[in-house]
Amino acid sequence: MDAAKKARLHAAGWRTGDAADFLQLTPEETTLVEIRLALSGYVRQVRHERQWTQSKLAQRIGSSQSRVAKIEAADASVSLDLLINALVSMGASAQEVGRVIGRTA
């Protein structure tokens, strides 16, 4: 949101913030959410680059297509372990995974 719009809202008595403010997340929880979003987005990006279907990735990680859809949607039921497993199964290196996580800082 641009500064002028934010100032108008504040002048009218409105409060502004981000999702972390609204959900009352701690800084640690915010960081975990950002890591989860970054990894899930990278799973989708790498899968598209490799021209793999969700079903093919699911087969590689011993899961289902619907689970891969949840991985890519950063569903809360998906563990960080499964996110990393999906990336490694597609050939991502530890350095690549580290770079994705590092971009959230």
User: How far apart, in whole angstroms, are the C-alpha atoms of residue 99 and residue 81?
Assistant: 16
The answer to whether the CB of 84 falls within 8 A of the CB of 51 is: no
Segment 53-87, tens digit of pLDDT:
999 999 999 999 999 999 999 999 999 999 999 99
Judge if pTM exceeds 0.95: no
For residue 102 the two structure tokens come to 């590092």
